[in-house]
């Protein structure tokens, strides 16, 4: 009997919980029209550096989460707002790509990661070209920065002679977007070999 009471209470809780959840979900869908969407777009581009594609995704998400009001087509409104933001200089995919790529290389990420991120951000190849070229020019400096952060190769406390551990370090370079050849070149320098490290630093500075 006690078990039956518990079961019935569980069913009642579950039933009302589902109802309340749906009610909360319905209440959460606030009205949204073209004017309000324009305000959201302006607030977003003022606060964040963004690309055309990222702004379009943000506005589309706001529409999905809301109850669209008015006769205007929401997709057309989104496209018009993105075009307006670009026309006013709030959105510039080429400039965004340059900023994004430079920030990633300073963090020690390689060319492949830069290319992948710009693709995800919806940057067209023509707008990404200069940023990718800059990342390629900074490839050695970025890889050295990655090794320094991870204390690999010449930056390690002790030399790594275990081949398996060395390959794991190579894989870490690869995940960060660096070429395998560049990874092995840096890892070949042993801790304390200041002359070899200085030569790499000089080469990175000349790139």
What are the φ and ψ backbone dihedral angles of 193, each rounded to 5 degrees? -85, 75
**Backbone region of residue 152 per phi and psi (left: phi > 0; alpha: psi in -120 to 50; beta: other values):** beta
Residue with tokens 């977007």: 177
Contact 55, 91 (CB under 8 A): yes
* Inter-residue long-range contacts of 122-127, CB under 8 Å, 24+ positions, other chains counted: 122/51, 122/52, 122/53, 122/54, 122/56, 122/57, 122/93, 123/51, 123/53, 123/93, 123/96, 123/97, 124/93, 127/93, 127/94, 127/97
* Angle, helices 111-120/93-106, rounded to nearest 10 degrees: 140
Report how far residue 98's alpha carbon sits from residue 186's, in angstroms, rounded to the nearest whole number.
26
Distance (Å) of CA 11 to CA 2, 4, 19, 22, 28: 14, 10, 12, 17, 25
From first to last of its 207 residues, the chain has per-residue pLDDT tens of: 444 343 344 344 344 444 444 444 555 689 999 999 999 999 999 999 999 999 999 999 999 999 999 899 999 999 999 999 999 999 999 999 999 999 999 999 999 999 999 999 999 999 999 999 999 999 999 999 999 999 999 999 999 999 999 999 999 999 999 999 999 999 999 999 999 999 988 888 755
pLDDT at 24: 47
pLDDT at 36: 96
pLDDT at 35: 95
Global pTM reads 0.79
pLDDT at 204: 84
Containing H/E element for 128?
helix 125-137
């Amino acid at each position: 009997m006690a078990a039956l009471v518990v079961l019935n209470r569980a069913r009642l809780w579950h039933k009302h919980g589902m109802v309340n959840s749906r009610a909360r979900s319905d209440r959460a869908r606030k009205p949204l029209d073209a004017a309000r969407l324009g305000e959201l777009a302006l607030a977003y581009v003022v606060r964040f550096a963004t690309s055309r594609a990222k702004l379009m995704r943000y506005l589309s998400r706001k529409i999905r989460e809301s109850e669209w009001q008015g006769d205007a087509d929401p997709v057309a409104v989104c496209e018009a707002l993105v075009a307006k933001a670009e026309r006013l200089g709030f959105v510039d995919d080429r400039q965004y790509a340059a900023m994004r790529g430079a920030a990633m290389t300073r963090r020690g990420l390689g060319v492949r990661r830069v290319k992948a991120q710009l693709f995800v951000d919806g940057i067209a190849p023509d707008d990404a070209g200069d940023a990718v070229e800059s990342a390629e020019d900074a490839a050695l400096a970025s890889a050295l920065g990655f090794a320094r952060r991870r204390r690999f190769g010449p930056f390690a406390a002790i030399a790594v002679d275990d081949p398996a551990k060395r390959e794991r370090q190579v894989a870490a370079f690869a995940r960060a977007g660096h070429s395998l050849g560049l990874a092995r070149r840096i890892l070949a320098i042993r801790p304390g070999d200041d002359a070899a490290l200085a030569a790499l630093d000089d080469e990175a500075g000349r790139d």
